[in-house]
Structure 1
Amino acid sequence: MRVLSASALQREIGLRFSSNHLKNVLLNASASGALGIKTFASGEGRKEGELGSNDFTQNKSSNKKFSSLVDDSKGNVGGQQDFRSRADQRFSARRECAAHSMISSYTKSQDPLLVLAKEGRWQELVVSLTGSPAERHVGTTKECFVWFGRSGKQSASLTLFELLKNAGESEKTLTHYLLVYTTAFAASFGAEQGWKSFRAVEDMVGVKPNSTLFEDLINFFCNQGQVSRGLDILDEMQKRGLTLRPTSFSPLIKSFSDHLMLDEAFETIAAMRRLKVEISLEIYNVLIGACVKAGDMEKAYRVLSDLQQQGLQPNSESFHQLIKGFAQQKRLKRALGVVQEMDHFGLKPDKYTYFVLLRACGSNKDFSEATKLFKVIADLGLESDETVLSALIQAHVDNNKLDQVLQLVKKLDMKGTIVGVDGTSQILRGLALAGRLDEAIRTYEELGTKGKLPSPESVATLLVVLGKAGRMDTMLKIFEEACSPGSWSDYPATYRTNYLNVFCSHICLGYFSHKQLEGGVKFLEHITKLGMTNNRTLYDKIFLQITNSKGDGEEENSINAGDGLALLRALKAKGVQLSRLAHETLLDHCASMRDSEKAWELVHEMEKECLPLNIMTRIRLFRVFVAARNERDAKKVLEKTRRVDLLDRDVRFLLQKIMQHEFETIEADSFKDIPSFQALLAIQKQLKVALGSY
């Protein structure tokens, strides 16, 4: 297996990132007026990993690139170091969020055995748990292993494993406890330490893990963003001679597909073929979904064709993915045509098919087609289905037909048809977006009287509109209810944590847009003390939203760069350490406001935090000074940019694209007569000199 040096690995990752992504960053910036920092920082929207003209069944370059993923002669399933590193980089943000959001519900239990565990009275605990299997409470034993793992009590867990084994506990149950302990340990101390602890317990206790245990571990580590550890475990399974099944690979393929790492997903499929592991229809559907998400419908149809060549028949889910894909591309007629393709395979449209089609009508602003579909749905007797109704209501809301949908809901109510939480959430969102806040709040409260909460998306929309309207008390009341322990308990923990960050950032922006800096900072202090959010993620999100808000005075209560700078300083005064992302997003805001002075103040703040001005910082600064028509400072940035950076083709592209965008903002019929055009010409001349020197 080829091992890369640190510098070589960094270079490979840098080249991959640069060539596939940097140009799209600026193209997005030209349209949005920002340098694309959100996309650049998070990797959202990054389209990677496309195959060439050959599909994965014939792609020799793919097999060569993935030659170390499955090397039958060496027994190595894990893959190259650069493959693992690329995967881990992509998943790092997700891992941080997941680790932060895991809440230990068992710590609130008053079970006396758990009290012993929490108080560290290990000897009493293991004695209490080691009666005959019939006398033990299996659930409590499991909870104690979770506590051992979370607390890093490896010696205590070893003692308990030994005693349980000597008491006649079955191998199956011991294996389950080993999984519980390992995942809890890894959640607290990281994947590497979790794996080491697993090996130590396995060796000392003599437990023999089976394929199911290893597959559960692969799934866990992939969900934690540690895909390279999942590949290691796949290696381990092959070395031990355990059977590799579709379920051994599916967590890896799903993780790659979720993050649009299509090369890696298809290469994993190629590895399965070389190992003669069956590829299930479920895995094919995941691949179709990944292609759809990446916007590559041609490749999605190649996957559909390949699964048929393998003797499988597509199901409704296969076609639902295709409908979604065409809807995303605003090709509604093509999406409707997929229904005819389903009929060719003997598949009839079900309620979910119509749900997807109605959603497509909403996103494509085609209300007339949505109306036709609903008539078909009514004829089929599906009009009372809550899922279908929510999609129909969303189509109305997205097409600004709010009054019509309210009348429809009244008619359905008279028939005894229940709209449901999802449909009501869409109505709430529509009322909020229309500025009908009193009706929106009344709808929210009506759901509350039934003991239910609207969807997090609709609550987020309501909070935004309340913040703009300055109704802070109502906003805080809704936030408090959203933070109650039972809120959205059926959602994954990471999902709830993410929306909690969104809610907090909306509330802060509500304060800042009304020049209530002190109130916003106090709110942040409060939630920080309660430990309700991932603070670093929250602060970054707040500054991103400030950057994306209008700050040029066109909107009432707009947030300008001065407001963002004041917040940055206020948080630092409270001892908060802000990331580079927080500082640089404000530079983007300065560019949109053409504010050179505030940009230099931000540079000084970065210097105080010992954040060096890297090439992306300098590109942002150059954009600020070009937008402000500041010849002197633009020249200064170019002069202080390193020669090696100016030689980089992507850096040169970005600098030239900045100039192109600014020229395009000047009206063609009058640009020659205004001073800003002359300033732009002078800066362009300076840029040509700087780039031409190399």
Structure 2
Amino acid sequence: MSCLVTPCWFSWRDMSLVRENMASTGELRHRNAYRFIHMVVRKPASGSKRKVPKNLRYPRRAKVPPDPDIDRMRRRKQLADTGPSTSVEEEDDSWSEEALDAISSLFQGRVPQKPGKLGRERPLPLPVPFKIRPLGLPTPKDHIRSVASSLASSRSSLCKRVYKNPTFLIELAREIRDLPPEKNVSKVLDKWIAVLRKGSLSMTIRELGHMGLPQRALETFCWAKQHPQLFPDDRVLGSVVEILARFSKLKMPKDMENFMGSASKSVIEAMVRGFIRAGKDGTARKLLSIAKDAERTLDPSVLAKLIADVAKNPEKQELVSVLLEELGNREELKLKQQDCTALMKVCTKLGRFEAAESLFTWFKNSGQKPSVVMYTTLIHSRYSSKRYREAMAATWELEELNHLLDLPAYRVVIRLCVALDDLPRAVRYFSRLKEAGFCPTYDIYRDMIKLYAQNGRVAKCKEVSKEAELEGFKLDKETTSLLQIKGELGPLRSSTS
């Protein structure tokens, strides 16, 4: 056996390596060789110590403990290379029960809270300005009244919901009307004294006037005077004064100058309106002159109503002209659309077409929108003054505004087309009148027959005349003679053609 064994100390690991090497080379062939190795390579004695090198015998300073950050980085690197070690598993095993419960609850649902006051009431968040009131233009009052009336009524009390409600006040007048003659109005009004306020009974009194019950209106006023929460009130006083003046139940005071000085403007205007509706234009005119002398400026609408009522009498045209001049001298002219339209009709009737034009121009420049009735009055005024082209321009302006024409507007426009001898446009308006659901009047049928006759349309003349007879109209002598003449000339024209 050829094996060289050096005299050095071997560990058991080295001996196993030598054995494997000799077995691979074939030198370890029998048991004596193993005994030889076992005898030569033996374990060192337990009491012997290895000699320490010189550079480590006397260290200059104590060893510095390792840096925790560096040690953590080295540990992470080892974990990334070799996988999790047993120490990590030991740390996982060392978690507390609360941590394990928290982790398990993540897969079950809500995290259990610590024992204590579980039903805590948190304060409401502060209001955000842009959520309470969004940016934009302010909402108009009409929109608020129409859309948010239900919300406002739910928050308001019964008194606020009742004392201005027209339905309630009109129903109150109906209950008073249904009372027996021997009963007083207090039987009805005493039940609602708690919800009535100043100005509430003015609508009830006016409604009693519409029903023709001036005595009940006076009783209602006398009942209101007995309650301080309802009187003094100029609205209630003006309503009852107007009703009594309309039914000629109002006694005029003897000293009118003192009355003008003490009475309010609304009461004087209500008295004038009552006398105008009663047909006492002289008394109304006297009140206006006294108010003018007392330097009490009344509303122009009162004077406009007086002018419109006086103009019904053809014998008082001079008085109407004087009142128009007086109205035109006003520095501030504030008229409603209805009053302005009535004045335009009066001016057209008197032949003062320029005044009607100036009224329409003033109303339009004041920022208000004229209605179909006002445009119809303007077209009729221009037609009466034989300015047909200007009248047709007003008709086109009315159509551009997309207004729906009413029956008087169709009458005026068809008459204008007859004056212009414009058959196609007249036929179009005549058909539109029927499509809108209106029944043509006799003057419309007569104008269409006249226009068809002017253009030699005899068959159409007979058709329209037959339609008028079916509607119950009887043609006058002029229209009948025109149809007879055109009927005789019709065959001649057809034969010559």
Please say which structure displays the higher CA radius of gyration: 2
The TM-score with structure 1 as length reference comes to 0.37
The TM-score with structure 2 as length reference comes to 0.48
Higher helix share: 1
